[in-house]
Amino acid sequence: MKLADVVGTVVSPICHPFFEQKRLLMCDLIDPDGTADGYLIAVDVVGAGVGERVLICDEGTSARQIFGISTGPIRSVIVGIVDEIA
């Protein structure tokens, strides 16, 4: 699991059929103290928006299980919106 801030939406006129009708979000990865630590693009399944802090599952097998498929071009999925870090 990774922590990230959503910074934008990714739009592509050409994509793999798996990604049709799915929302892709650009996420800046962060450490728990808020330090930037890279970025990734993740499929949104929880309705996150720009400016929200999210929890990302970044492992292919787990991501595919979320969608109920055994193979596919998916690795990162936003699985939660973070209210606060205590």
pLDDT of residue 60: 86
Residue 30 within any structural domain of the chain: yes
Q: Determine, yes or no, domain membership for 67.
A: yes
Is position 86 within any domain?
no
Bridge pairing between strands 23-30 and 36-44: antiparallel
The Cα 70–Cα 55 span in angstroms is 23
Range of the domain at 9: 2-81
What is the model's pTM? 0.90
CA distance 24 to 82: 18
> According to the model, what pLDDT value does residue 33 have?
82
What pLDDT sits at residue 86?
A: 78
Residue 69 lies in a domain: yes
In total, how many domains does the chain have? Answer: 1
Q: Is residue 27 part of a domain?
A: yes
Q: Is residue 21 part of a domain?
A: yes
Per-residue pLDDT of the chain (86 residues; tens, 9 = 90+): 999 999 999 998 899 999 999 999 999 999 878 898 899 999 999 999 999 999 999 998 999 999 999 998 999 999 999 998 87
Q: What is the CATH number of the domain that holds 38?
A: 2.40.50.220
